[in-house]
Chains A and B, each alone.
Chain A
């Protein structure tokens, strides 16, 4: 059985205790997006500023557990200043890391091929995630996966909205 040390890595607790990029941005020009985890009541508020093809700034509000809050904190640090395309790619990589568990279960009868667009994670790309790789242990606690992915799904929705507004 997985232990707590798999879940609560020191770096996760650090981001939980000292969350990066907490706050708000003026809307507009920034976009405000909310995400909810209906199971536990966690909520995340993202303020996303897209300039040109870049996510120039990102602030995080809301409340939730250590996993949802640290994931949002690490995400904010990882995506700030990156191009929208890079951010979208990072979202895909992170979400596929969070689906390792399902891929592993499926692998019992086959080759572990993933069935959606996210695709199974190529282990070599975990390195691209930096600190975020610390959240890998979450997949051993399936109930908590939604905590880890809450901010990422919210970010993806925000980028879709920003894209729509720009286009």
Chain B
């Protein structure tokens, strides 16, 4: 058998991108082909990683290499490349398990994204265990992905939904937690707000939730790409994250859950791979995690996600987090120095309590207009409600412009944002 996995996805990352905890951002930028392009004759300043990150060459090459040398369907063919494909798919699962501190690879279910992971929990565990009179506790800062699946289930099953409020300091207000937990069977909570950047005290909430007999579902979409994830230490029972926000391809995410929960949950989608036997009058399900993976899975995407994990691991997530803390601190300071009261930032002031997500309002310029003007400077930010309409109502704004940082951003990117904001001010006032 050829060594198809030997260096796939890890080659370029073997050279150091971090020394003594400091990222070599110039070298990292060079790993991302798209960051070398221009728009409107300007350098691309990509500040929208909270929506979707970019991919390093190592990820692109790993996926190409998989397709060029290996592809066949997994868990089926009895021939060399099919076995290789299966091995690489399952290797990716093992990488994920190590990356998030799972007990074993069998606790890692590949899904399309976090949205699917949460829907899976709602439609399987939720439908089995939640009924009229049961309560689910969410937070006011959830993404629609952790709201709508529960609203759908509430409509169907007559559940009560409760919400942990967001305080004036943009942190969750836990003062009423004990009372809110009374009768709650599940707590759904984002680890990091995609709008505010707030890092939530999930371990603390989980401890209280478990004390009240509730399980905890953590939405790690904005956390796992940036901060070392240890699902068990966080106290989560279910945990979802997505590949495309952490340098991997679109179309692959993960649900992690404690093994005994996965064993007990009914299947989600029906089809191939998720069965152990099918008769014309019934079926029996496959073992976990394959029980939840109906149909041909995203194999190349799993390989790409594995390569993304290799790339991030070679740099070290602690170094990534330290870089983002320093950059966010620089951004808060330099943007406030330059724009003063013209600029509002919706999120905690203390960088220890927040990720690198800055939701902005600049003068009275609408987020759409701001984003449009920034685009002309090559600066990519997200404008809108960020799939968190209840939170936007809470903040009292229809939309914000959101700049978000990742390991390939540097102070020059922040400066470009500051400059582009000034341009926008000139145009509208």
Contact = CB atoms under 8 A, between A and B. Distances in A.
Interface of A: 1, 3-4, 7-8, 13, 16-17, 39-43, 63-67, 69, 141, 144, 147
Contacts of A42: 368, 398-399
B366 A64 contact: yes
A64 B372 contact: no
A41 B367 CA distance: 10
Interface string B358-401: 00000000111100110010000001110001001000001100
Nearest to A63: B398
Interface centre among B40, B373, B399, B428 (most CB of A within 10 A): B399
Interface centre among A16, A40, A67, A141 (most CB of B within 10 A): A40
A40 B367 CA distance: 9
* Closest CB pairs A-B (n = 10): A65-B368, A65-B366, A41-B385, A41-B398, A40-B384, A41-B399, A66-B369, A65-B369, A63-B398, A4-B376
Interface centre among A1, A43, A65, A144 (most CB of B within 10 A): A65
B385 A40 contact: yes
B41 to A, nearest CB: 9
A64 B373 CA distance: 16
B412 interface: no
B427 A8 contact: yes
Contacts of B398: 40-43, 63-64
A64 B428 CA distance: 14
B67 to A, nearest CB: 31
A4 B373 contact: yes
B373 A147 contact: no
Nearest to A17: B428
Interface string B55-97: 0000000000000000000000000000000000000000000
A64 B367 CA distance: 9
Given A4-B376, A41-B384, A42-B398, A144 B427 contact: no
Nearest to B370: A65
B368 A67 contact: yes
A4 B428 contact: no
A41 B382 CA distance: 13
Nearest to A40: B384
Interface of B: 39-40, 366-369, 372-373, 376, 383-385, 389, 392, 398-399, 427-428
A141 B375 CA distance: 12
Nearest to A69: B366
A40 B384 CA distance: 4
A13 B428 CA distance: 7
Nearest to B376: A4
A97 to B, nearest CB: 20
Contact of A4 (B367, B383, B384, B427): B427
A40 B399 contact: yes
A39 B384 contact: yes
A137 B43 CA distance: 25
A40 B372 contact: no
Contacts of A39: 384
Contact of A66 (B39, B366, B385, B399): B366
A139 to B, nearest CB: 14
Given A3-B376, A40-B383, A66 B428 contact: yes
A118 B239 CA distance: 49
Nearest to B429: A17
A144 B372 contact: yes
Contacts of A40: 367-368, 383-385, 398-399
Contacts of B427: 4, 8, 13
A147 B368 contact: yes
Given A40-B367, A41-B399, A144-B372, 13 more contacts: A1-B40, A3-B376, A13-B427, A16-B428, A39-B384, A40-B385, A41-B389, A41-B392, A42-B368, A64-B398, A65-B367, A65-B369, A141-B372
13 contacts: A1-B40, A8-B369, A13-B427, A40-B384, A41-B384, A41-B389, A41-B398, A42-B398, A66-B368, A66-B369, A67-B368, A69-B366, A147-B368
Contacts of B399: 40-42
Contacts of A3: 376
Given A41-B389, A43-B398, A63-B398, A7 B383 contact: no
A38 to B, nearest CB: 9
Nearest to B427: A8
A125 to B, nearest CB: 28
A11 to B, nearest CB: 14
A144 B373 CA distance: 13
Contacts of A13: 427-428
A95 B11 CA distance: 53
Interface centre among B39, B376, B398 (most CB of A within 10 A): B398
Nearest to A62: B398
A40 B373 CA distance: 16
A3 B40 CA distance: 9
Nearest to A66: B369
A141 B368 CA distance: 12
A4 B369 CA distance: 10
Given A41-B398, A43-B398, A65-B366, A7 B385 contact: no
Contacts of B367: 40, 65
Nearest to A43: B398
Contacts of A43: 398
Contacts of A17: 428
A149 to B, nearest CB: 14
